Chain A
Amino acid sequence: MSTKISTNILTKIITKELRDFRSDKRVQWALSALYLLFALALFSGWRYYTTTQPRHEAAQAASYNQWLAQGTKNPHSAAHYGFYAYKPVPLLAIVDKGMDEYLGVSVWMEAHKQNSVSNRTAHDMADVSRFGSLTVGFVMQFLLPLVIILLTFNAVSKERESGTLRILLSTHTSGVQLLAGKGAAVMLFVLVAIVVPMLLASGLVMVSTGGSAFAASLGTFAVWSLAVVVSVLLWTALGLAVSASVRESGMSLIVLLGVWTFGAFFVPRLGGSLATTLHPTPSAFAFNETIVSEKAKGVDGHNSADARAKELEARVLKEYGVDSLSQLPVSFAGISLQAGEEHDYIVFDKNYGNLFQTFQRQERVLELANMLSPVLAAQSLSRALAGTDGDKHEHFTTNAEQFRRVIMRTMNNDMTENGAKDKTKRDFGYMADDVLWKKIPPYAYTAPGLGFALGNQTLSIASLLGWTLVALFMVVWRGRSLKP
């Protein structure tokens, strides 16, 4: 009997709330503005993907063709020529291009050097772009909460002010039921009128531009959409909890807008400043100087390139049982180049390792700061899922460097093996052709899967779920003690 009554009351509350929302002018205005911005964001994301991704693909193919068309050359000259790796733009960049504009897109894979992935798009953008960019993700994580705040801030106080709260609470309705009904109405309204249509529109745009690529990222997009729904639940609960805790609608609105503004504008900059103060980034100049000096003097500063060369020579002569380099059946230049590369790997691994560690430590500080701000946690998770974040970038960097090492090894081994066959054209006189160049496959980067993104975002996920649970708990707690 009582469950029947409560379902009945819930349905009534929901129906009444939905009617209120539909007739509220402010809600209509907010929805129109949100849809307008969403359309602009989706267009801009679509444009970003459709102009950038084909360019990267074409450049990747062009770079490989240039590599194949080098003609006859010494393998080490070819290694110096090298080729470029371009970071593919993920399809989900249509909904969240994340930090893509501030991350490099290309890296030159050449002999002796691990280059940084460089060429940030932001370099060629007007300064006003630093105010932030409008993406579908931004609409969902930053602007949608504002609409939810608008729908919830006076949920309780308007009943109190119109005197209906007393009537409601004196009947069979409990405070928790009232809040649950209101929450369900807000969720229903936001999901049906905003979230689902926007997700469908984004999905459609991605299908029509990505085709088969969309099938591969469907799972990720599903999780991305789920995160949006969680964030809607979070803000609905937060809005109702505050509305039930603060007596006046005005104050409730100010508290909610304060939480939002603090989390959306204050925390990111404060977090960034703290992160770079606690873990300073080296300058590119200092970073390169260290690498150059360690390459020459050895990582410990006591093992100079000359000393290493002499040692290598003695070892190789001994190994082959000959007295001079000219008697070797293999090319010493090839051996020596490969030994040089391998020494440099230690230097690169150490220095890039340190740099990435610094970035990761900065990232930790930012993630801890994100605990203060559900908007930022949602943003961080969103760009990780879209594959437009720092972790994915680092994955690409490492992947390209592994590929560079394969190129160098292939070139040096070929020179070692064949660079001593013709005594008149030894070492650097030895020429190879496209039979060797073809041994290097085209560079193809496979982005890591869903697990990678989720694994890197545990703190953000914890923050999102933590905020949601606390907000839901507050709703129940304030609902129980709700007084007219």
Chain B
Amino acid sequence: MFKHIIRYDWLLLRSTRTFALSVALLALFTAFALWNGARHAHFQRTTLAAIDSTERAAYAALQSAVRDIEQGKPYKGNEFQNPQLPYPIGGNKGARFATLPPAPLALVSFGQSDLLPYYYRVTMTKQQSLYHAEEIANAATLYNGNFDVAFVVVYLLPLIIIALSYNIVSAEREQGTLAMLLTSDIRFGRLVLSKFLFRFVVVSFVFAVVLLAGIGFAGVNLLQASSELALMLLVVVLYAAFWFALSFAVNSFGRNSGVNAALLLGVWLLLVLIIPSILTITATTLHPAPSRVELITQTREASDAAKKRTAQLLSKFYEDHPELLPKGKEINPKDFATASLSAQMEVDKSLKPLQDRFSAQTEAQQSLIGSYRFLSPSVFVQQTLNDIAGTGYRRYADFTAQTYSFYQRFQQFFVGKVFRQERMTSADFELIPAFRYAQTASTLLIAPNVLNMALLLILTVAFVSLGLTKTARMQLVEAFA
């Protein structure tokens, strides 16, 4: 029996343009979104490749300049810029870049990758500059958001589902076929549900095929990314099921098509817009980030204060670190390199509490969102897609933290040389620490994510049962209401 319904429904759907058009649009949007995401990831990879080759070239040039001096060629340039001096190397010329390579599935979601820095220029004298690093971007595109797969899933997929299903029951009444169906010997609820199931299967299938084909076409190794892809499909399918179930429940109230559409669109608006913006306002009001503007003023105050005390700081530094006393040389309190570096270290120390507050407050905001995102499955799906794409908050926060600890290591390397008043040898250039992002273990299947998926499933089941109960109670009179 149901086979017949599905077969006839399929024939009917094939002949109606809405269905074909909606599914075609979904395929088209997904393909375009993948192309757009791939373009963005490619741009970032190209930029990082350029950074890498620039850094290598700069290091090769410095090393060969030092080798020339070692082989007896006298250095003729400005003495402050002598490549044998550790200070100008660590402070500027030997800058290392901390870079975050886009994850294999970056093309799926822009996430925060267009907003947060994915590379930092690290020197030993300007920790504060790390806070002010940012990529150039047109604010309008940051504000509007991007056309990526996450957008197609979170925003457009529900709309397509609504377009495909808002009038499944009401259309029967409006065409006058409802009375016939209600009086026939099959259960009406089952019939309607099978129509929903059928659409759900087609939509999920088309999406999965286009997505996997597109990602494969973009050159991603599907097998290597299989666990992320499986999770992604699972989340998308759950999200689609949630919307179909919601639509089924709304349909089962037997209202007319217009009311159904308005109601579903209202829920959509609530989930993709109203709840997220209320969450934003709540998070920024309860856990406001410290002001970057105040950070600037305080940095300047701290460095002015440190500069006034350089002589003191320097002698204190040597008291604390007698192992770094220069051998066979006098300590010169006016020596620019030692004075500046000890002042910088003092500034780093005094700004630490304020800087820690930045990460603490964003962390607090983020965890507040985490606790309340169950209010909107759209927020959960967006965040999960970001994490799958490696463009979410977590990975960027991790990258920034790794950059700061790299700064420490990088500075530490030069501290010994500067304070002992040693010179750089050509062999030393091989020893200068280089940054490599350490990918942390996947946090995709952590408890909160599983809970949110379970919640989606529960909501889906609840809506389906509601729909079944309501349709079972549908009376023949309603067919003529």
Contact = CB atoms under 8 A, between A and B. Distances in A.
Chain B binds chain A: yes
Interface of A: 37, 40, 43-44, 47, 51-52, 55-56, 58-59, 62-63, 66, 69, 84, 86, 98-99, 101-106, 108, 116, 118-134, 146, 150, 153-154, 248-254, 257, 261, 265-266, 268-273, 275-277, 280-287, 289, 355, 359, 362-363, 366, 390, 393
Interface string B20-51: 00000000000000001001000100010011
Contacts of B368: 126
Contact of A44 (B136, B143, B281, B291): B281
A56 B293 contact: yes
Interface string B286-301: 0011111110110011
A204 to B, nearest CB: 21
A265 to B, nearest CB: 6
Interface in B136-152: 136-147, 151
A283 B174 CA distance: 56
Nearest to A127: B393
29 contacts: A56-B293, A69-B304, A98-B143, A118-B134, A119-B293, A123-B115, A123-B134, A126-B393, A127-B366, A131-B273, A132-B276, A133-B280, A134-B278, A249-B258, A250-B258, A250-B259, A250-B261, A254-B166, A261-B159, A269-B146, A281-B136, A281-B138, A282-B136, A283-B50, A284-B134, A355-B136, A359-B138, A362-B138, A366-B140
A286 B285 contact: no
Interface of B: 36, 39, 43, 47, 50-51, 54, 111-112, 115-116, 119, 132-147, 151, 155-156, 159, 166-167, 170, 174, 256-259, 261-262, 265, 269, 272-274, 276-281, 283-285, 288-294, 296-297, 300-301, 304, 358, 361-362, 365-366, 368-369, 373, 378-379, 382-383, 386, 392-393
B358 A124 contact: yes
A283 B47 contact: yes
B277 A133 contact: yes
Contacts of A86: 293
Given A116-B136, A284-B136, A66 B369 contact: no
A125 B291 contact: no
A128 B379 contact: yes
A125 B365 contact: yes
A99 B274 contact: no
Given A40-B281, A101-B143, 8 more contacts: A51-B288, A122-B115, A131-B378, A132-B276, A132-B277, A253-B261, A269-B145, A272-B140
A323 B383 CA distance: 71
A123 B115 CA distance: 7
A124 B361 contact: yes
B interface: dominant SS:
helix
Contacts of B143: 98-99, 101-102
B54 A283 contact: no
A374 to B, nearest CB: 16
A254 B162 CA distance: 11
B276 A63 contact: no
The 8 closest A-B pairs by CB, nearest first: A250-B258, A124-B289, A131-B276, A250-B257, A268-B144, A134-B277, A272-B141, A102-B139
B274 A37 contact: yes
B379 to A, nearest CB: 6
B262 A257 contact: yes
Given A105-B292, A250-B261, A128 B112 contact: no
Contacts of A289: 54
Contact of A126 (B151, B167, B304, B362): B362
Contacts of B269: 146
B11 to A, nearest CB: 24
Contacts of B115: 102, 120, 122-123, 130
A127 B147 contact: no
Of the candidates A43, A254, A282, A289, the one having the most CB atoms from chain B within 10 angstroms of its own CB is: A254
A148 to B, nearest CB: 13
Nearest to A138: B277
A132 B151 contact: no
A265 B50 contact: no
A131 B375 CA distance: 14
Contacts of B135: 283-284
Contact of B365 (A123, A126, A268, A283): A126
A269 B151 contact: yes
A129 B167 CA distance: 34
Contacts of B259: 250
A463 to B, nearest CB: 16
A127 B111 CA distance: 8
A271 B300 CA distance: 41
Contacts of B261: 250, 253-254, 257
A121 B295 CA distance: 13
Contacts of B133: 284
Contacts of B257: 248, 250-251, 254
Contacts of B170: 250
Contacts of A101: 143
Of the candidates B51, B279, B300, B369, the one having the most CB atoms from chain A within 10 angstroms of its own CB is: B300
Contacts of A127: 111-112, 366, 369, 382-383, 386, 392-393
B77 to A, nearest CB: 11
A257 B265 contact: yes
A362 B54 contact: no
A55 B294 contact: yes
B112 A130 contact: yes
A66 B298 CA distance: 11
B147 A269 contact: yes
A458 to B, nearest CB: 17
A283 B43 contact: yes
B139 A103 contact: yes
Of the candidates A105, A253, A390, the one having the most CB atoms from chain B within 10 angstroms of its own CB is: A253
Contact of B155 (A146, A265, A393): A265
A55 B147 CA distance: 35
Nearest to A104: B134
Contacts of A69: 304
Given A126-B366, A257-B262, A272-B145, A131 B47 contact: no
A270 B258 contact: no
Contacts of A280: 43
A125 B280 contact: yes
Contacts of A52: 291
Nearest to B363: A126
Given A128-B279, A249-B258, A284-B135, A270 B140 contact: no
Contacts of A254: 166, 257-258, 261
A126 B370 CA distance: 10
A283 B136 contact: yes
Nearest to A261: B159
B222 to A, nearest CB: 25
A123 B116 contact: yes
B112 A253 contact: no
